[in-house]
Chain A
Amino acid sequence: MTKEGLLEERIGEWRQYFRRRQAVRAIDIEELEDHLRSQVEALSEAGLDEDEAFLVAVKRLGDLDSVSREFAHEYSERLWKQLVVSPGAGASSLTAHRDTVAAVGLAIAAAVALKIPDLFGLHISGRDADTSFYLRNLSLFVLPFLAGFFALKRELQRSGWYLLALPFVAAALIANLLPFKPSGHTEVLTAIHLPIALWLAIGFAYAGGRWRSHEQRMNFVRFSGEWLIYYTLIALGGGILVFFTVFIFQAIGLNAEPLVGRWVVPCGAAGAVLIAARLVESKQSVIENMAPVLTLLFTPLVAVLLLIFVATMIWTGNAIDVGREVLIGFDLLLVLVLGLLLYAISARDSQAPPGRFDRLRLLLVLCALLVDVLALWSMVERTSEFGFSPNKTAALGLNLLLLVNLGWSAVLYARFLAKRVPFTRLERWQTAYLPAYAVWAWIVAALFPIIFNYQ
């Protein structure tokens, strides 16, 4: 490589490094680059060779962190501007515009679809509401549009579209052809597990059909977490809007509640699914910084909570009293811990060596496993009293599924801390395990009603 080329490469690296700071825009970097080059030229003229000149020039420019902090201080709004979708900020404003149009169009379509059954006398709320119908079918009114959004965006092939349609057709058949007993346990189980199964089916569209790729799966995990954060934020704003709508109409003596309950809330909630997805797609980088911060914040807290819980259990000698609700509670605990682990993994630089937070995460997983095993133990002891109801079987199955996932994660994490395996093994394990959840969700949704005779 020529000397010229070497300097260019160095400056290129410097630029790359600087660009990662959010408060510094490309145009500012260009200005600083001009400075850097002027300095290098002057120093070269003074007799330094280019390599030395570059090093001195970079040193004189100052520590990049403090310079960008100074920029951030000056332009604090820039950090927040990132949250607003600005045209032209992405790779191409034309595709961004097209995506927005598609998302808004599909959001409206989802909202309309949700109201179509109304025409046939199936109301979503109010006194004559058909809760049972909506319970089973809710996800079918919304998630196909989300799948369609990604299928469009990723330009899925025709065979991909057919494959993608399959789970949705199956879900529609399961939800509407099986003779459920109204408000039975299996109906509720199906209603809970179908959206999960369909969400994972959306992963197929999200990955553009390349669902076997670990990177794509990890991206989908990231997307799901970010989507949840965005949806919660939108729901929060929507709640406030609804509150004010009812409030101001009340002030003029009109009761807006039935209208809001029938139209605004369901349609808004359906449309927001698409809008949140569009926001995540356009502004991935912002939330990528948010999910890790949340996990960073809650990992120590949950770890401390579990440690205290275990200590108290040992101290008082109280065993866990296992009912169905308790087991579901422990399932949710494991889901929470898995979430903390998953989002920490998804944001972690897989090249980085083991650190303090890695040990903390392992501790968290081990505590959760210990607590859960204790809960399971006391349950197995008393299975004969309980028998296997559909709810308990579903909760138990999920528990075992999570236990395997977290247990092997703990083993891999420990081996990673002992520098026996690379971190990527842990990532791979998580993404490889994802289909297990899909399979379980389909089993509960489709087979449990049949096995347990629709009770």
Chain B
Amino acid sequence: MDINKDLVAASATPLVLAILSEGDSYGYAIIKRVGEVSGGELRWTDGMVYPLLHRLERRGLVEAVWGRSETGRRRKYYRLTRAGAEHLAGQRRQWQQVDLALRGVWLMAADPAAQPG
């Protein structure tokens, strides 16, 4: 299934923040995790996650530190900040609201008897 581009773009920030709320991570691992949680349905262009991470860093939602990978290569790790956690909570409420509204409509579409009046 192809997910609409706008939808992918809109969900990118909450997804990245949510993945970082599970623990510190880095670009490659974040993309792998996105693939896992979406069952492979959400496909990003790998390179695009970095400008997004840098944008979040500038907004203060995440912070970055250079560390080392298991093989000793230099690697940039990202961590969710307090502001990032708050932003994520807000986003979560918004998405749940949207999800709730859509579910309601779709439930009614599936079962006309439940329609009011």
Contacts and interface: CB of A to CB of B under 8 A. Distances in A.
Interface of A: 28, 30-32, 34-35, 37-39, 60-64, 66-67, 70-71, 73-75
Contacts of B55: 74
23 contacts: A28-B50, A30-B74, A31-B75, A34-B69, A34-B73, A34-B74, A35-B47, A38-B28, A60-B45, A60-B46, A61-B45, A66-B48, A67-B45, A67-B47, A67-B48, A67-B51, A71-B50, A71-B51, A73-B51, A74-B51, A74-B55, A74-B58, A75-B54
Interface of B: 26-28, 45-48, 50-51, 54-55, 58, 69, 73-76
A378 B50 CA distance: 66
B51 A61 contact: no
Contacts of B74: 30, 34
- Could you tell me the dominant secondary structure of chain B's interface residues? helix
B48 A70 contact: yes
Given A32-B47, A34-B73, A37-B73, 16 more contacts: A32-B27, A34-B27, A34-B74, A34-B76, A35-B46, A38-B69, A39-B28, A60-B46, A61-B47, A62-B47, A62-B48, A66-B45, A66-B47, A66-B48, A70-B47, A74-B51
A64 B69 CA distance: 24
Contacts, number: 59
Contacts of A62: 45-48
A37 B27 CA distance: 12
Contacts of A31: 27, 50, 75-76
- Could you tell me the dominant secondary structure of chain A's interface residues? helix
Q: Which of B45, B47, B48 is the most central at the interface, judged by chain A CB atoms within 10 Å of its CB?
A: B47
Contacts of B51: 67, 70-71, 73-74
A43 B36 CA distance: 16
